[in-house]
Amino acid sequence: MPEIPENPDLAWDLDDFRQTERAQDFVLQFETTLCVYSPSVEQLYTTYNMYFPKELARRMVILPDPGVYHDTFNFIEPEAVTATGLYIIPGELIDKTGLYLSNVSEDRTLGNRQIRFEAGLRSIIKRRPADDPFLPILAKGDLREFEESWPVLHLHRVRPETLQRLSDLDKSSITNVITEKLETLFLTQRKVA
């Protein structure tokens, strides 16, 4: 049975969620398709499992797969990871189906524009310069509740060009893994839609 990991970045509190089961279902669809970042140990996990242990009421525990240590990237400085202000929202929140990309205003309302998730991300990725790609990841606190019942995911991004302690090969590997996982997510969403 999973325990709270020593790394506090891997135990996400769900106490503020009124619809805990809805939040769990929502975040689980990203378990194999978005990487998770831990600033306290400067690691990026590409292979992990999410658990919701009953004995750890209202918590989600992320456990990296110890059998694939090569799927964990080290020396990912917090300065290389930035908040994007973009959110993945469930289409039901706006009376549609599938996933959408949106911004959220300071007053915690949806921004003026919501765009289909894949189309929105592809557009952002296409507009980024080659030396500063858009590589979305998750960090503790990114799973949030909106309008008291809808789970949404805020996105962070890693900026490989700022990683001073990594080789060009490692930076390229990070880019490739995140890109491949995004393609898997796009494919999964097309099948659902």
Pairwise CA distance, residues 34 & 177, whole Å: 10
Number of DSSP helices (H) and strands (E) in the chain, helices first:
3, 12
For the chain, give every domain's residue range. Answer: 8-192
Q: Judge contact between 150 and 27, C-beta under 8 A.
A: no
* Residues of the chain scoring pLDDT < 70: 1-5, 193
State the pTM of this model. 0.91
Reduce the DSSP state of residue 118 to 3 states and report it.
Answer: helix
